[in-house]
Structure 1
Amino acid sequence: MRSPFAVRVSELTLTPLDPQPDHDVVAGDPVVSLLELSTSDDGRVERGVWQITPGVVRDVEADELFVVISGSATIEFDDGAPALDVGPGDAAILPAGARTTWTIHETLRKVYQATV
């Protein structure tokens, strides 16, 4: 059993990923940063804090639940599902395999749990 813990997400220092993720950058020069908080024993479930600076990127999603801490974005789905406008305090679920376009209006920081 792991020890319980709590962190103040808004004050955490995240590490810019190097190299940056294999997103299809559509506009701008967005930078992704991450701090992994925990991973399940089997390595399939990851929990952490993720951040991206303004820009537009395309991605293929993992099965994910996230809560936005700061910033804002619009997430559009290639399959025609309604777009999501997310900001501080919003929770969202993204289905595995969804093809998305993220328009980051303000640097977005989220806490996530993803099954990979």
Structure 2
Amino acid sequence: MADVEVFPLAQVPVAHAPASAGEVVAGAPTLGTTPITTLGGTGVEIGIWEMSTGAVRDVEVDEVFVVLEGEATITVEGAEPIAVKPGDLVKLTAGTATIWEVTSPLRKLYVA
């Protein structure tokens, strides 16, 4: 393995599949994930995640991500919705139940 690796994020392909019926809140969203690399032997994964327009339920893992493209609103029960857009850095806590409403196809770089 090289001491320095470069990953051209705009060129990382992500295959989509329909969200499962139990996750869908609105629309007919598709989702896709492409792992890119890991941090040594830590088990920490870095990758690209995408979602088309629509809304889904999710239960989060510990994750930090940067929105690369698109816009969405993330809602946690009992809290105000949080709008995210390109350039935003977001931290999610494991076990948090969320609803993702994507209004413009979303692409994010995640570390989980």
Same fold (TM over 0.5): yes
Counterparts of residues 35-114 of structure 1 (less than 5 Å):
35-40=34-39, 44-78=43-77, 80-114=78-112
Instruction: Give the AA of the match of 1:25.
Output: V
Distance in 1 of aligned mates of 2:42 and 2:19? 21
Report if aligned partners of 1:21, 1:32 keep a CA contact under 8 Å in 2.
Answer: no
- TM-superposed CA distance for 1:3, in Å, is 4.0
CA 1:3–1:109: 2 relative to 1, 3 Å: same
- TM-superposed CA distance for 1:77, in Å, is 0.1
How many residue pairs get aligned? The number is 112
Q: Which SS does the other structure have where 2:10 is aligned?
A: helix
RMSD: 2.3
In the alignment, structure 2 segments of 5+ residues that lack a partner are: none
Instruction: Give the AA of the match of 1:93.
Output: K
Identity %: 38
- TM-superposed CA distance for 1:32, in Å, is 0.9
CA 1:20–1:40: 2 relative to 1, 3 Å: farther
